[in-house]
Amino acid sequence: MIIVDAQQNIAFNAQQLGRDYVKWAWNQRQSDSRGDAPPATTSLYDNLLGRVAIVFGSLQVIAESSPHLKAWQPFSYRSADDARQLALWQLDYYRRLADENDSIQLVLTQQDLRTVLESWDPDKSIGQRVQGIVVLMKGAAAIREPQQCEEWLEYGLRIVAPAWQKNRYTDGYEGDLTLTGYELLEVMAGFNLLLDISGLSERASADAIERYGGPIFASHANPRRFHDSPRCLADSLIHRLAERDGVMGIMVYNRFLRKDWHRSDPQRRVTVSHWVDAVDYVCQLTGAVDHVGLGSNIDGGYAFNSLPDQIDTASDLWLLRKALLERGFSADDVRAILGGNMLRKLRESLPKG
């Protein structure tokens, strides 16, 4: 039994906050002198303790003009070249993590994936376990032109979400794909890259699902039933994604788990049971457990009370298993939701190697 988490911002937080992924989250907090910074919630060891065997590590860059730019985010871009350099720094961070730590493996091929999963076999000791990191570009601003996908593929990129705010490929949460955006999808499909529709508008997502020829999923996007936001998926879109055998990763973010949640609420007002509610909703809507997983975004820059009660670091993601079982999901269902469904999308997209 393992977990596949389809969204953590490991390199982004290393770049913006100086976070060290190979230090326990608690140790990172003790050494953090910035009062405005969100608490550290993830690390290699927290993930291993929580049995997060595979994590999709994002590359994320923020425009200098973004209204969402935080005081604790000193690195932003003005041009495509700036965005590219920031993203390359983050990608190099993942590569250095893998080079310097025997417990980390960049997942570039099917063979890499098998190597990681074999390290979690029951006969292997805790010290032999390896965490696989799959590099996901969260917003394609760093790709200067669609043909550059091949270069990024060689660097280690395996998943692309075209949108994260407005860029040359999309008009943002409320807009459409641009002509260059359609070209990007065509080039991506040629390389069988996994397409992430998280961050696309409803119209753009529907269009991408209809047109894209390769594998598709949503790394971190909750049902709109629980929060009416363009960042969440409407029922019709969830149906369309399921028809393409897609999977959506449910975030452990209180705003997207309970309609009446407010940031001033105590943490205990939202629990892991609310996360299970979102999972169960997708299962009931699609008629199967095959199209939902975990995209925690646990290190998404939130305050302490923005995560469900009992979820403090990535080690606590293991509590989701118990919550699913208590709700009545079978052991096989739980294995699919917490790992198997995302693994299916990876196996569809990764080169053999």
Please give the domain boundaries of the chain with CATH numbers for all domains.
Answer: 3-349 (3.20.20.140)
Instruction: Say what the pLDDT of residue 32 is.
Output: 84
DSSP three-state, residue 246: coil
Instruction: Say what the pLDDT of residue 165 is.
Output: 77
pLDDT in tens for each of the 353 residues of the chain? 999 999 999 999 999 999 999 999 999 999 887 778 899 999 999 999 999 999 999 999 999 988 888 989 999 999 999 999 999 999 999 999 999 999 999 999 999 999 999 999 999 988 899 999 999 999 999 999 999 999 999 999 999 999 887 888 988 677 899 999 999 999 999 999 999 999 999 999 999 999 999 999 999 999 999 999 988 999 999 999 999 999 999 999 999 999 999 988 888 899 999 999 999 999 999 999 999 999 999 999 998 889 999 999 999 999 999 999 999 999 999 999 999 999 999 999 999 97
Instruction: Say what the pLDDT of residue 34 is.
Output: 77
In whole angstroms, what is the distance from residue 193 CA to residue 188 CA? 5
In whole angstroms, what is the distance from residue 51 CA to residue 3 CA? 6
Spatial CB neighbours of 114, under 8 Å, sequence gap ≥ 6: none
- Which of left, alpha, beta for 52 (phi over 0: left; psi -120 to 50: alpha)? beta
